[in-house]
């Protein structure tokens, strides 16, 4: 359906017409319909775009019973591109002319997101404290968040063909979950790096007594030589201007016959910026890589042995996190505000809707330095 905006239409009328292809009704009866509590919302959306829309939710100006479904319906037909604003252009220009993920900014995302509180993450995540997409669609299919995360970690171990005594570098190790899992199941040892001080401290406690070294450092400063390298949910913080340096560093750290597994959220289009609301409140300076960006970054440095997309599995992962978060809120709210509660729900459920709409993807890319002799057999 062709939209027929007019200069004389009110902001509310424009939004009503914008939502027609998504079958979303203002103050409608469906669980995905928007309930508007403050009519200032309409002008705010056209003035501030995605940033204003998210902030209005935090301010309690609107809501939807099924927020994830609302975003799925809104994003699937590409309606987000219809709402433009000067704020988004500012983010683009800043990213174009500045390296927003340089060494001086490397620890910002750790301080602002991953250091928000280990108490929050302990209650939101599974018992392994894995903060990345679970693998629900394996064989057999996972029935719970814990099963999905264990299936994901075991999938990575099998893709790498881990053997006892091998050393693994985990770039962006979180709370040390994978290194601990790999040691307990496959007898490996390793090094984990993180730019989050809170993660580093808790991860060190969790792996105490194991042959695992947790380092509070940027990947560009890592030294050593490893049988295999993994990076799970960290590449989104690297940034296009640093992709070549990232892959060059990984090649330097990997043994000649080793494998490098890159697990990352991906975008279907090339961009240097992320959603302005996500950039301000969740992942500062984050950028989702595209196929083209990854290809250019790894060109002549690595051979792509396997490329696995299980993005739809992020939808149930995020819903499970949100369910855990809401269940734990009575205990968490003594340390966090009601505004934070709405912020965090918006983050988890809008992202779930984005994956449901196939607006974002989850890739596991397996790389080798020289190509696996005889060919690599994919593992699913």
In the predicted model, is pLDDT for residue 8 greater than 70?
A: no
**Which of 39, 71, 96 is at the close of a domain?**
96
Q: Phi/psi zone of residue 371: left (φ > 0), alpha (ψ -120 to 50 degrees), beta?
A: left
238 pLDDT higher than 50? yes
How far CA 62 is from CA of 52, 53, 89, 295, 312, in Å, comes to: 12, 9, 25, 41, 27
| 3 lies in some domain | no
pLDDT for 362 beyond 50: yes
Q: Which domain holds residue 226?
A: 104-368
pLDDT at 42 over 70: yes
Express each pLDDT in 93-149 by its tens digit.
455 555 656 776 668 878 888 899 999 999 999 999 999 999 999 999 999 999 999
| Contacts by 204-212, CB closer than 8 A, 24 or more apart | 204/176, 206/129, 206/175, 206/176, 206/180, 207/176, 207/179, 207/180, 207/183, 210/179, 210/180, 210/183, 211/183, 212/176, 212/179, 212/180, 212/183
Q: pLDDT at residue 59 above 50?
A: yes
d(CA 187, CA 243): 31
Average pLDDT over residues 212-226: 97
Whether residue 134 is found in the same domain as residue 278: yes
Write down the pLDDT at residue 1. Answer: 42
One domain for residues 161 and 187? yes
Classify residue 375: in a domain, yes or no.
no
Q: Are residues 24 and 158 in the same domain?
A: no
pLDDT given at position 293: 96
Q: What is the mean pLDDT of the chain?
A: 92
Residue 378 belongs to a domain: no
- Distances from the Cα of 379 to the Cα of 95, 280, 369, angstroms: 37, 38, 19
183 and 312, same domain (yes or no): yes
Lowest mean pLDDT: which of 23-37, 91-105, 218-232, 325-339?
91-105
Burial of 28 (0-12, 13-18, 19+ CB in 10 A): middle
CATH of the domain at 308: 3.40.50.150
Q: Is residue 2 part of a domain?
A: no
Q: Are residues 174 and 264 in the same domain?
A: yes
Calpha distance 89→276 (Å, rounded): 10
189 and 266 co-located in one domain: yes
pLDDT band at 81 (very low <50, low <70, confident <90, very high): confident
Residues 195 and 318 in one domain: yes
Residues 206 and 308 in one domain: yes
In terms of DSSP bridges, do strands 254-267 and 226-232 run parallel, antiparallel, or are they unpaired? parallel
Mean pLDDT of 319-325: 98
Same-domain status, 142 and 256 = yes
How much is the pLDDT for 110?
Answer: 83
More confident residue, 113 or 346: 346
Pick 268 or 295 by higher pLDDT.
Answer: 295
Q: Which residues contact 315 (CB under 8 A, 6 or more apart)?
A: 68, 352, 355, 356
For residue 233, give the nearest of 318, 282, 175, 172 by alpha carbon: 172
Mean pLDDT of 305-320: 98
Task: Give yes or no for residue 39 having a pLDDT over 80.
Answer: yes
Both 287 and 336 in one domain: the answer is yes
Residue 54 burial (CB count, 10 A): 23
Q: Is residue 38 part of a domain?
A: yes
Would you state the pLDDT for residue 128?
Answer: 97
Q: Contact at 8 Å (CB) between 45 and 83?
A: yes
Domain boundary among 49, 77, 96: 96
**Which pair of tokens denotes residue 8?**
């004389």
Distances (CA, A) of 29 to 25, 54, 303, 342: 8, 22, 52, 22
CA distance 271 to 293: 9
In this prediction, residue 108 carries a pLDDT of: 82
Average the pLDDT over 178-186 and give the result.
98
Q: How far is CA 44 from the centre of its chain?
A: 27
Residue 5 has pLDDT above 50, yes or no: no
- What's residue 365's pLDDT? 98
Q: How many angstroms separate the CA atoms of 302 and 218, rounded? A: 22
pLDDT at 86 over 50: no
Instruction: Looking at the structure, tell me whether residues 150 and 22 fall in a common domain.
Output: no
Q: Does residue 160 have a pLDDT over 70?
A: yes
Please report whether residue 182 resides in a domain: yes
Most distant CA atoms of the chain, gap in Å: 71
What pLDDT does 80 receive?
82
Q: Give the pLDDT of residue 285.
A: 87
C-alpha closest to that of 239 among 270, 203, 215: 270
Is residue 1 a part of any domain in this protein?
Answer: no
**Domain end point (choices 44, 64, 96):** 96
Q: Say how many domains are in the chain.
A: 2
Q: Does pLDDT of 38 surpass 90? A: yes
Same domain, yes or no, for 80 and 132?
no
5 part of a folded domain: no
Task: Provide the pLDDT for residue 99.
Answer: 64
């Amino acid at each position: 359906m062709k939209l027929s905006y007019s200069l004389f239409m009110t902001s509310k009328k424009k939004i009503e017409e914008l939502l027609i292809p998504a079958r979303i009704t203002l103050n409608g009866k469906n669980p995905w319909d928007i309930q508007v509590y403050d009519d200032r919302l309409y002008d705010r959306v056209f003035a501030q775009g995605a940033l204003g829309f998210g902030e209005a939710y935090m301010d309690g100006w609107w809501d939807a019973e099924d927020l994830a479904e609302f975003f799925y319906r809104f994003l699937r037909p590409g309606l987000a591109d219809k709402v433009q604003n000067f704020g988004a252009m500012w983010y683009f220009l800043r990213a174009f002319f500045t390296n927003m993920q340089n060494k001086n900014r490397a620890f910002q995302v750790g301080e602002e997101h991953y250091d928000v509180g280990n108490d929050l993450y302990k209650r939101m995540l599974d018992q392994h404290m894995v903060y990345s997409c679970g693998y629900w669609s394996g064989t057999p299919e996972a029935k719970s968040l814990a099963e999905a995360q264990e299936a994901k970690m075991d999938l990575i171990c099998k893709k790498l063909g881990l053997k006892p005594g091998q050393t693994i570098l985990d770039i962006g190790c979180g709370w040390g979950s994978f290194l601990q899992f790999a040691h307990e199941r496959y007898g490996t040892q390793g090094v984990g790096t993180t730019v989050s001080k809170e993660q580093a401290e808790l991860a060190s406690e969790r792996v105490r007594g194991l042959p695992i070294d947790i380092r509070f450092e940027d990947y560009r400063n890592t030294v050593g030589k490893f049988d295999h390298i993994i990076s799970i949910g960290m590449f989104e913080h690297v940034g296009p201007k640093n992709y070549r340096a990232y892959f060059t560093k990984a090649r330097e750290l990997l043994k000649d016959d080793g494998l490098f597994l890159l697990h990352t959220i991906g975008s279907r289009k090339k961009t240097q910026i992320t959603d302005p609301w996500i950039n301000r409140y969740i992942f500062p300076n984050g950028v989702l890589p595209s196929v083209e960006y990854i290809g250019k970054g790894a060109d002549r440095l690595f051979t792509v042995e396997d490329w696995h997309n299980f993005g739809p599995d992020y939808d149930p992962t995020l819903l499970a996190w949100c369910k855990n978060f809401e269940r734990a809120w009575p205990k968490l709210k003594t340390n966090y505000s009601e505004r934070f509660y709405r912020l965090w729900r918006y983050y988890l459920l809008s992202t779930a809707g984005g994956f449901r709409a196939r607006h974002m993807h989850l890739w596991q890319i397996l790389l080798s330095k020289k190509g696996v002799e005889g060919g690599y057999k994919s593992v699913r």
